[in-house]
């Protein structure tokens, strides 16, 4: 028997799945502009933001939406070996299998030979993990206009990646993703729960409870998911131990929010 709390808990499993994508006003505007940018003859599109702001979700959603209309390839985990990277691209995009090593020059040659009307789009997640040299080569590849790249980057405080030279000059479009506001977070939580038919638990989120969560997670989607997962886990355990009477169930208990935050390390107790 799965209770309402167990169902609600599973909604917040931190899995990148395009079907779980939640439409929020601001995010959908950004998404639309990203889709428009892809139609333009751009060489590269940069998607950046702090970890947990939904970049991966964005790419997944984009991949899902575009795959029906055009050639699009998503690499969620970076291929760090250079030769491996070229080989994978050659195989996926140009359907050319290479048994031995494939270097940049060879790959460029192949790329230039390909004259597709529809330029294939390559989506690279976690691009901050690629070496600077490889990034430079990716940018050279995009200059051939035979491949279009959409890359996502963590925006770290130490180094502002956009400030790097190759991004400044080559990128035509850069889109920043930000943390959710309190209202957006509320819509996000409720939409997510309602998608899974958890209407009762969606109704438990009062503005003050959402504000508290927002205060703890700063509106970061990943942190919020983590927190909410633990929160409903706690509810499920209380329910299992028949201790639900100890806590409020008509709205989300602040105590449980804080307990979840302590457990997930968002609050240092």
Partner 1 sequence: MLNIIELEQRWLRYKIKSFIPHIVIVISLLIITLVLLSLSSSTTDNKQEIVEPTITPSNKEVIKKEPIEKIVPVKKTVSEETIVVIPVEAVPQKKQAIQKESQKVKLSPSLDFMRKMQNSVQPFYNNTTPSDNYETDVPRSTKKINTRQAKVLETQAVESTPKQSEKRIQIKRQNTQNDIYDIIKRFKKNNNPALSLFVAKKYYELGNYRQAYNYALMTNKLNNEIESSWIIFSKSLVKLGKKDKAIKTLKKYIKHSHSTTAEILLDEIQSGKFR
Q: Examine residue 269 and tell whether it contacts partner 1 (CB under 8 A).
A: yes
Token readout for 213 is 């969560």
Cβ distance to partner 1 smaller for residue 136 or 239:
239
Rounded to 5 degrees, what are φ and ψ at 148? Answer: -110, 135
Cβ distance to partner 1 smaller for residue 126 or 233:
233
Spatial separation of the C-alpha atoms in residues 40 and 117, rounded to whole Å:
13
**Contact pattern from residue 77 through residue 116 relative to partner 1, giving x for each residue in contact according to CB under 8 A and a dash for the rest:** ----------------------------------------
- The neighbour count for residue 161, using CB atoms within 10 Å, is 18
Q: Examine residue 62 and tell whether it contacts partner 1 (CB under 8 A).
A: no
CB distance 96 to 110 below 8 Å:
yes
Spatial separation of the C-alpha atoms in residues 43 and 146, rounded to whole Å:
9
Q: Examine residue 129 and tell whether it contacts partner 1 (CB under 8 A).
A: no
The residues, any chain, with a CB within 8 Å of residue 189's CB and separated by 6 or more, are: 202, 205, 210, 213, 224, 228
Q: Examine residue 262 and tell whether it contacts partner 1 (CB under 8 A).
A: yes
Task: Please give the radius of gyration of the chain, using alpha carbons only, rounded to the nearest integer.
Answer: 22
**Contact pattern from residue 241 through residue 260 relative to partner 1, giving x for each residue in contact according to CB under 8 A and a dash for the rest:** x-------------x--xx-
Buried b (16+ CB within 10 A) or exposed e, 103-139: ebebbbebbeebeeeebbbbbbbbbbebeeebbbbbb
**From candidates 18, 129, 162, 267, binder to partner 1 by CB under 8 A:** 267
Smallest distance from partner 1 to CB 188, Å = 24
Smallest distance from partner 1 to CB 237, Å = 6
Is residue 189 within a helix (H) or strand (E), and if so which, with residue range? helix 182-195
Within its chain, how far is the Cα of 4 from the centroid? 27
Spatial separation of the C-alpha atoms in residues 101 and 184, rounded to whole Å:
48
Locus of tokens 């009062």: 206
Cβ distance to partner 1 smaller for residue 115 or 268:
268
Smallest distance from partner 1 to CB 258, Å = 6
**Which residues between 4 and 43 bind partner 1 (CB under 8 A)?**
none
Q: Examine residue 176 and tell whether it contacts partner 1 (CB under 8 A).
A: no
Q: Examine residue 196 and tell whether it contacts partner 1 (CB under 8 A).
A: no
Give the binding range for partner 1 (CB under 8 A) out of 5-13, 56-64, 78-86, 232-240: 232-240
CB distance 175 to 46 below 8 Å:
yes
Spatial separation of the C-alpha atoms in residues 201 and 219, rounded to whole Å:
19
Cβ distance to partner 1 smaller for residue 201 or 253:
253
Cβ distance to partner 1 smaller for residue 184 or 233:
233
**From candidates 156, 237, 248, 265, binder to partner 1 by CB under 8 A:** 237
Smallest distance from partner 1 to CB 138, Å = 44
Q: Examine residue 234 and tell whether it contacts partner 1 (CB under 8 A).
A: yes
Residues that bind partner 1 (CB under 8 A): 230, 233-234, 237-238, 241, 255, 258-259, 262-263, 267, 269
């Amino acid at each position: 028997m799965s209770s309402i709390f167990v169902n609600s808990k599973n909604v917040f499993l931190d899995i990148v799945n395009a079907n779980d994508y939640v439409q929020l006003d601001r995010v959908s505007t950004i998404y639309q502009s990203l889709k428009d940018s892809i139609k333009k003859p751009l060489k590269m599109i940069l998607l950046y933001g702090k970890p947990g702001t939904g970049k991966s979700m964005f790419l997944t959603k984009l991949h899902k939406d575009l795959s029906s209309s055009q050639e699009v390839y998503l690499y969620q985990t970076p291929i760090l070996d250079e030769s491996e990277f070229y080989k994978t691209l050659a195989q996926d995009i140009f359907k050319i299998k290479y048994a031995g090593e494939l270097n940049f020059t060879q790959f460029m040659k192949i790329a230039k030979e390909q004259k597709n009307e529809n330029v294939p789009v390559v989506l690279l997640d976690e691009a901050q993990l690629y070496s600077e040299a490889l990034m430079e080569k990716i940018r050279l590849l995009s200059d051939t206009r035979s491949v279009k790249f959409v890359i996502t980057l963590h925006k770290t405080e130490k180094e502002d990646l956009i400030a790097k030279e190759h991004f400044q000059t080559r990128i035509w479009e850069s889109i920043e993703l930000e943390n959710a506001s309190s209202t957006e977070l509320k819509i996000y939580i409720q939409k997510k729960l309602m998608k899974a038919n958890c209407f009762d638990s969606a109704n438990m989120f009062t503005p003050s409870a959402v504000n508290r969560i927002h205060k703890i997670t700063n509106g970061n989607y990943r942190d919020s998911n983590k927190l909410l997962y633990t929160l409903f886990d706690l509810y499920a355990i209380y329910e299992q131990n028949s201790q639900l009477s100890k806590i409020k169930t008509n709205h989300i208990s602040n105590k449980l929010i804080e307990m979840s935050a302590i457990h997930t390390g968002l609050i240092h107790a």
